[in-house]
Amino acid sequence: MSDADINELAKHYAGLKARPPPAGTASAAEDAAGKRLADDCAGCHGDKGISSDPAWPNLAGQQREYLVTALKAYRDGNRKNEMMAGLAKGLTDADIAALAGYYSRLRGQ
Ligand code: HEC
């Protein structure tokens, strides 16, 4: 793909509206755990999962399964990013499930 193609695609997807979050699929305990763990993420991904810097992805309203897969990939070294590798390293599967549930239920931009 050319740089111009990439820019056009980025503009297209950035302009689409996010779906509303799914209603009530998690337990209150999982939600509380996800919110607590997300304190470590807010500096880059924002308080409500909307990033403060366009170079960092929004997480709010993203699909739960995708978030689980992405976090496990960073943790296990299958997706490489210096910032995320350090953060994901200590996460258990339960932490990842709680974080993914929490962010997937926040309203996207
Ligand atoms: C120091 C800044 C920083 C912090 C803190 C941070 N992230 Fe990230 N995160 C990034 C960057 C930058 C990327 C994009 C990396 C890439 O290109 O793969 C990213 C990517 C991600 C992605 C993949 C998103 C996608 O659309 O593919 C997920 C999921 C994610 N972060 C979750 C988290 C969680 C959960 C935490 C807290 C435990 C966290 N991040 C903390 C900077 C950060």
Is the Cβ atom of 67 under 6 angstroms away from ligand 1? yes
Q: Whose CA is nearest to atom 26 of ligand 1?
A: 57
**pLDDT tens column, 44-81:** 999 999 998 999 999 998 999 999 999 999 999 999 99
**pLDDT tens column, 81-95:** 999 999 999 999 999
Q: What are the angstrom distances between the C-alpha of 72 and each of 5, 13, 97, 103?
A: 30, 25, 10, 15
Q: Whose CA is nearest to atom 3 of ligand 1?
A: 44
CA 59 to chain centre: 3
- Quote the pLDDT of residue 19: 72
- Quote the pLDDT of residue 11: 94
d(CA 16, CA 4): 19
Phi and psi angles of residue 96, each rounded to the nearest 5 degrees, phi first: -65, -40
- Quote the pLDDT of residue 27: 75
Q: Whose CA is nearest to atom 43 of ligand 1?
A: 44
- Quote the pLDDT of residue 25: 61
**pLDDT tens column, 9-47:** 999 998 988 776 666 566 778 888 999 999 999 999 999
- Quote the pLDDT of residue 5: 97
